[in-house]
Every structure is written in structure tokens, then in C-alpha cells.
Amino acid sequence: MTPGRDRLPLVALGAGVALALLLAFTLRLPQRLLALARPGHAAHQLDGRIAPGEYQFQWVDPASKLTFDWSIVGDRLIGAISTPDTGWVAVGFGGDGPLMFGADIVIGYVDARGAHVEDDYANTPVSHVADTAMGGRDDILGSAGVTTAAGTTIEFERPLAAHDSTDQPIKAGQTHVIAASAETKDFVAYHAGGRKAVALLDLFAGPPAAAAGGALLPDHLTDVQIMVSVWMAMLLIVGLHGVVAGWAEGSEAAEGASAERTGVAVALIAVFMVVELASLAIFAVAVARAAPVWLLGSSLAVGLLALAGIVVLYSRAFVRWEAIRTERDDGIPW
């Protein structure tokens, strides 16, 4: 092969491997494989992100879209409360009422300085204050949080036992759990129009987290992951095919008519590449702006057709004519 043609399969193979690694990280495959290698053991990392299989239990309120994930580890509760809001989010335990009176509350928000998490007590049915303001202590042993366009997640760790009058112990059996969030980054801001949810949960027994959390692959792929998957597959096919063909050939490319056909094929491949890049740009903009499905499908279809053309032309130019030349050199008449 010529140096340029010899590099093309290697470049395609390298790009395919790079996309495979990117896809693996977007699917969190390293964490999933680690969880499979260590079944029954979930390493908790207070980083504001909920890894697959990290928590034993999960409660989701469909109306408010508030989610509470938690595990009981030794004498501690490790939890994560998530909301689509980008302000504060809170979860409270216990309390005899009315409303939230007496609840032991973990509340937090994330701003430019990081996560701010506080141990509060509901001193009235509609308000709460920090434990430290009532003579108690802050029993949050560790915390972290992340806010993105998708919402806010606060992770925390607290003891099961109550250490003062502003605490509620976490015990087996039904516990009154409240959750709420708002768009305001302020511990004392009222959430009249915010999200609220209430449940009776056995914090030692469930409900269990979704079984798919420890699966190798998620239940669905995003549009971007599908696009990366297609590119990865095509580049790996082109790269492996070219490398194997070059290894099998082991000689210089033919000159004359074969070289001329190869030049035309390269020009057509360049045209298809322009079409492919334009289609991908249209698809990316359409995804970002939530364009109609027909535009997403059409741009992706054109891109896939261009990919098919690239593969066919590559096979014709760099594989088929090499095979014909080899057969002619072997004395097969044409």
C-alpha cells in the first residue's frame, strides 16, 4: 500500500477505539463492570452523583419527580435526594406533625462555592431552623452536591442514632419521610410553589433500588450515544478491514488503471465526508433545539447513507481492485 492508504485504516481504527472508550464512559461501563466484579458491595462516594448500584433503596415520587436514594451502612444512613429544581432540596425524617413539625431535616443547595448542606429541625409546622440554633449539633458527617441543567442532587451521611432533642432516630419499621425542593438557593426560603412529597418508608427494607442499576447496559440509549455507536462501529469495521487487507497484501499498491480508479474513489469519499459532516451538524443542532422527529430522522438517515457510501467506495477502491490484481498476478485470466 501507499503511505497515505496505509495510514487510513490505522486512523479509522484509532478513531473507532477512541469513540468506544468515550461511549464506555458515557454508559458508565467501568463502574458497572466493577460492581459486577464485586457483587453485593457498593462503594459510596459522596460526590453529588449517583452511580449505578451505589444505593440499596430508592423512593421516587412521580408527581413531584423528587427521588430519595439511600443505604444503611453500619450505624449510619447514607442518602441522596434529587430534584429537577436547581435551588435547595431537602429530606426529613420523623416528626409527629402537624405538617412537618418535629422532622429531622437534611437540606442543601449548590452554588458557585460548592455544596452547602445543613442539619435542621422543623420547629413549627411550616418552618425549620438549624440544629445548632436550638442548642443541638450538626450531625451531617459528610456531604456533597451537584447542580446541572437537569436539576440538583445532594448526597449526605448521618448517624442512625439521635444525639440530641433535635434529632430523630432511624429505626426499623415505618418512618414518616418528607421531601421538598425549590428554585431558591436559600435555607430559609419558603417553597409555596415548590415540589413536595410525603411517604411512609421502612428505611431498612426498601423499596429496593431499580434492578437495572447493576446491569451491564442501561435500558435505553440517548440519541448522542446511538450516533457515537454508529460511528464507532463503522470506523472499527473500516479500520480492521483495511489493516487486515494491508497485512494480507504485504506489497506495494498497483499502478496504472487501479491507481486511477483509486483517485476517483478518494474524490467521491471526500464528497461523502462533506455530506456526512453536514448531516451530523444538522442532527446535533436539531437535538439541541428539540427539533421535530422528522428532521432528526432525516438528517441521521442521510448521514448513515453517506457512511454506507464511504464504506462501499473504500471497499471498491482499496480492497476489490487489490484482489483483482492479486488474482491476475496469480495467472487467473480475465
The reply to whether 16 and 80 lie within a common domain is: no
The reply to whether 126 and 252 lie within a common domain is: no
Backbone angles phi, psi at 70, to 5 degrees: -160, 160
pLDDT in tens, 199-258: 999 999 888 665 444 444 444 456 666 667 777 777 766 766 666 555 545 434 444 445
Q: What is the mean pLDDT of residues 167-182?
A: 92
pLDDT in tens, 263-322: 666 777 788 788 888 888 888 887 777 666 656 766 776 777 677 667 766 766 666 555
Residue 38 burial (C-beta neighbours within 10 Å; 0-12, 13-18, 19+): exposed
Of 214, 240, 271, the position where a domain reaches its end is 214
The reply to whether 200 and 59 lie within a common domain is: yes
Of 194, 214, 234, the position where a domain reaches its end is 214
The reply to whether 208 and 61 lie within a common domain is: yes
Backbone angles phi, psi at 157, to 5 degrees: -135, 130
Of 160, 186, 214, the position where a domain reaches its end is 214
Per the domain annotation, does 233 fall within a domain?
A: yes
Per the domain annotation, does 36 fall within a domain?
A: no
The reply to whether 185 and 93 lie within a common domain is: yes
The reply to whether 9 and 81 lie within a common domain is: no
Q: DSSP character for 58?
A: E
Structural domain of 311: 3-27+218-329
pLDDT in tens, 58-93: 999 999 999 999 999 999 999 999 999 999 999 999
Q: How many domains does the chain have?
A: 2
Q: Please measure the distance between the N-terminal and C-terminal CA atoms of the chain and give it in whole angstroms.
A: 23
Backbone angles phi, psi at 216, to 5 degrees: -70, -40
The pLDDT value given to residue 32: 56
The reply to whether 187 and 237 lie within a common domain is: no
